[in-house]
Amino acid sequence: MGVQISPSILSADFAVLAAECERVAGAADWLHVDVMDNHFVPNLTLGLPIVEALLRHVRTPVDCHLMIDDPDRWAPPYAEAGAGSVTFHVEAAHNPRGVARDIRAAGARAGAALKPGTSIDDYVDLLPHLDMLLVMTVEPGFGGQSFMADMLPKVRRAREIARNDGLELWIQVDGGVADDTIEQCAEAGADVFVAGSAVYRASDPAQACRRLRAAAQATADASWWCA
């Protein structure tokens, strides 16, 4: 599939969300929508009604990142609403494999996310049931934090497993991804890049997406995992 860019609207102007989404149309592969419940993470953003409303107004596929408790119950409705990809946190799920199955059954790609302190080795058996693994490169909850380079070995390990086991697994990174960090992520094996402040704090968000894509693509093309 190659490099994909998923701008996070967490850094956009929530008062004019549809217009903010339109600013990256054509330059972004996805719109990354961060759902936070003030339980799983200490922040509150938006939920299903706003995602449903956005889906009626945007052309770009929606990539929901659910930072919420009990995704077993709450994740499938985002897929039913028409999100193209729904990612839940393994730390919050009672039955991660069941959540992935339900998301897929409702018609979306299923993603699972790992917080920085969560080891990938505990979830190797889950990977064949996923379409995407999200390796968090900040503590989930807020935009604009510093990139955690010590998460790169986890990205590399995920790519190794996917490659060795022949899995069609996209590997997403989220948190602090910007012009000065995206190449390290691509080199380690990531292929889906979430960027919030790097896109929406730029004067031209579409141009920021194109610049990030070019940097990631050039690095990926020259990387061990793409060979």
User: What is the binding site for ligand DX5 (CB under 6 A)?
Assistant: 8, 10-11, 32, 34, 65, 138, 140-145, 174-177, 194-198
Q: How far is the CB of 173 from ligand DX5 (least distance, A)?
A: 10
Instruction: List beta partners, residue 174.
Output: 136, 194
The whole-angstrom separation of Cα 114 and Cα 136 is 6
Q: How far is the CB of 161 from ligand DX5 (least distance, A)?
A: 23
The whole-angstrom separation of Cα 107 and Cα 75 is 12
Q: How far is the CB of 174 from ligand DX5 (least distance, A)?
A: 5
Nearest to 174, CA basis, from 104, 214, 115: 115
> If contact means CB under 5 to 8 A according to the sort of partner, which of ligand DX5, Zn ion, none does residue 144 touch?
ligand DX5
Q: In this complex, which beta carbon is closest to ligand DX5, that of residue 128 or of residue 142? A: 142
Residue number, nearest CB to Zn ion: 65
The whole-angstrom separation of Cα 148 and Cα 135 is 11
Q: Answer yes or no whether residue 174 interacts with Zn ion by CB under 5 A.
A: yes
Q: How far is the CB of 175 from ligand DX5 (least distance, A)?
A: 5
The whole-angstrom separation of Cα 205 and Cα 50 is 22
Which residue among the candidates 34, 63, 131, 191 is catalytic per the annotation? 34
Is residue 179 annotated as a catalytic residue, yes or no?
Answer: no
Phi then psi for 146, rounded to 5 degrees? -80, 140
Handedness of CA 147, 85, 223, 207 (dihedral sign): negative
Q: Answer yes or no whether residue 115 interacts with Zn ion by CB under 5 A.
A: no
Nearest to 25, CA basis, from 179, 205, 191, 198: 205
Is residue 34 annotated as a catalytic residue, yes or no?
Answer: yes
Q: Answer yes or no whether residue 63 interacts with Zn ion by CB under 5 A.
A: no
**Window 27-46: residues binding Zn ion (CB under 5 A):** 34
Q: Which stretch binds Zn ion (CB under 5 A): 64-72, 81-89, 203-211, 212-220?
A: 64-72
Nearest to 29, CA basis, from 2, 48, 65: 2
Which residue among the candidates 29, 63, 102, 174 is catalytic per the annotation? 174
Catalytically active residues are: 34, 174
